Every structure is written in structure tokens, then in C-alpha cells.
Amino acid sequence: MILTRFGTLTLFPKTTFEEDLMQYSINTPNANVVLMLNGRTVPVYYHGGRYYIESVVGAELTIDVTSNLHDRQAEILVSVDGRHVLRNEPANFSNRGMVVRPYGTWNVQGWLIDDQHTAPIVIGRANSDSVAAQTAGSNANAEVIGIAIFPEYKRPVYRENNLRSLGLGDEPVAKGITMRGGLESFSASSGTAAHMGDRTDRVNYGKTQFTRADEFTPATMIEVHYKTREWLVAHGIIGEDLPSAFGGTGYGNLRRG
């Protein structure tokens, strides 16, 4: 403790704010990221230089990515388990993404199955039914979400559509992938992976031209690892559940002496 003219200043250990930080969004100079399971924002844990969220088998994952750039548009790339969410291809910086206006938001609702529809990203077990296993033959890159932000080189003329995809081609992400809506058949596994739900949702994406300020180097790259609660506890990222002081139902059913 340090005594100052304004009172007592308490110095907390470094890990209080850096190693064990819990937050409900990831905010960077170029973008803000919010992750949701079943429509509810989930806490993000910062530990050992990495971001983590708790995975829940059967939950639908959605991601809101908002550009923090005020003077130019941005192209956003999003990957799940090493797969590009807009096309059936491995995720890398040569992928084409979604363009948003200054301070615009891309709500990533799922895997794009054609230019007008998505299928939910559903957290399941790391087995042969996952999107990564069906497309890449392996779950080696499972349990990780990637977000990359590419600022524009020059400002193009704005159009009415806020969201515009780039170069999707004729091979949407769903080609050759089996939709798996039921999660009961998942085999027991220590890990999780992203699957494709059996519902389709309509989206309104247009197309545009975009020139990156740097073609292969994003201004911001974020990785978020999704892990089971047991894994997070075992690795000291979150604490074990503790008894609740007010978690009971009252005294009505207790025997009286």
C-alpha cells in the first residue's frame, strides 16, 4: 500500500488485471468483438496471453465484429476451427471477407451455405461429424476462432448495403458437408469442435470491390480459444464452482425440532 495525498493506493498483483482478466468483449484499436452462445454474450477470459471462452456442447455460436475505424471501411475475415466461414476452404489471409463501413458491424450468424443463407455454427464434440473433420479430415485446428481486420487502401464509393461479401465464388462452405442438428449421437471426447446445424437463416449480402492497405498482413488479428469448463478449471483459467451463500430455496421443508 502507498499513502498519497488523495488517500491510500492499493497495488494489486500484476495477474489480477493481465493474467486473469474477465471481460465481455475484446476491444482493440481496430475492432471490437463480442461472442455469444445461444444469443447470450459470454465472458472472455484473458490468460497467458490468450483469450478463452467456455464451450457448451449443443450451443449455437454467433460473433459480432465491429470496426473501430472511423475514416475508412474494413474487410473482416472470420474463421472457426481453421475454416473460412464464408467459403469451403482453409482459413488464411488470402481469403476474401466481409466489408463494413466505418464503425459498421458484421454479425456472423453461421456458415454461409449460399449467397443468401447461413447454417448455425453449433458447438459439438470433436468427432468425424464436425465441419473441420468433414472438410479437412482432422480436428487438429478445432476449438479456435480467428478474426482478422484489413483496413482499406482507399475509400470506395459507399453503397446502400452495409455488408458486402468479396469473391465468394460458386463453392459455398456447405458443399460436401453434412448438417448435424441432433447432438445426442456425439461420442464422448475430451475436446469440442464446430458443427453445422440443420436450420438455415436468410442473410442479405451484396458484393463490392475492395483494396486492402496491406494485402496479406492484417492490422489486427485475434484468436479466441473455446474450451470445456473442465479444461478451463484444470488449467487455472477459471475457478471451480463454489457453494452459494444464497442458493437455497428457504426453510419451508426443514423439520423442526
In a domain, 14, yes or no: no
State yes or no: pLDDT of 138 exceeds 60: yes
In a domain, 41, yes or no: yes
Q: What is the mean pLDDT of residues 22-33?
A: 94
Banded model confidence at residue 240, pLDDT cuts 50, 70, 90: confident
Q: What is the mean pLDDT of residues 98-103?
A: 94
Banded model confidence at residue 203, pLDDT cuts 50, 70, 90: confident
Domain membership of residue 77 as a residue range: 22-234
Q: What percent of the chain has pLDDT over 90?
A: 58
For 134, phi then psi, to 5°, come to -75, -30
Q: What is the mean pLDDT of residues 104-127?
A: 93
- What's the CA gap between 160 and 220, in Å, rounded? 26
For 196, phi then psi, to 5°, come to -110, 125
Residues paired with 223 in a beta bridge: 146
Number of folded domains that form the chain: 1
Q: What is the mean pLDDT of residues 30-44?
A: 96
**The three grid cell numbers given for residue 163, joined into one nine-digit string:** 455488408
Q: Which of 42, 45, 46 is nearest to 56 (CA)?
A: 42
In a domain, 249, yes or no: no
In a domain, 118, yes or no: yes
pLDDT digits (tens, 9 = 90+) for 173-195: 433 444 443 333 333 334 899 99
pLDDT digits (tens, 9 = 90+) for 38-61: 999 999 999 999 999 999 999 999
In a domain, 170, yes or no: yes
pTM above 0.75, yes or no: yes
Minimum mean pLDDT range among 29-33, 161-165, 177-181, 232-236: 177-181
**Which pLDDT value is given to residue 168?**
45
Inter-CA distances, 15 with 34, 195, 233, Å: 23, 35, 17
Banded model confidence at residue 213, pLDDT cuts 50, 70, 90: very high
In a domain, 11, yes or no: no
In a domain, 122, yes or no: yes
- What's the CA gap between 237 and 187, in Å, rounded? 26
- What's the CA gap between 197 and 59, in Å, rounded? 10
Q: What is the mean pLDDT of residues 204-233?
A: 92
Beta-strand relationship, 83-84 and 74-80: antiparallel
- 17 membership: H or E segment, kind and range: helix 14-17
Q: What is the mean pLDDT of residues 137-150?
A: 94
Where does residue 18 fall: left (phi above 0), alpha (psi -120 to 50 degrees), or beta otherwise? alpha
- Which are the contacts of 99, defined by CB distance < 8 A and separation ≥ 6? 73, 74, 75, 76, 163, 164, 165, 166, 208, 210
In a domain, 9, yes or no: no
Q: What is the mean pLDDT of residues 208-231?
A: 93
**Which pLDDT value is given to residue 159?**
59
What does DSSP assign to residue 212? Answer: B
Inter-CA distances, 210 with 162, 168, 213, 216, Å: 14, 14, 10, 14
**Which pLDDT value is given to residue 187?**
34
- What's the CA gap between 159 and 174, in Å, rounded? 28
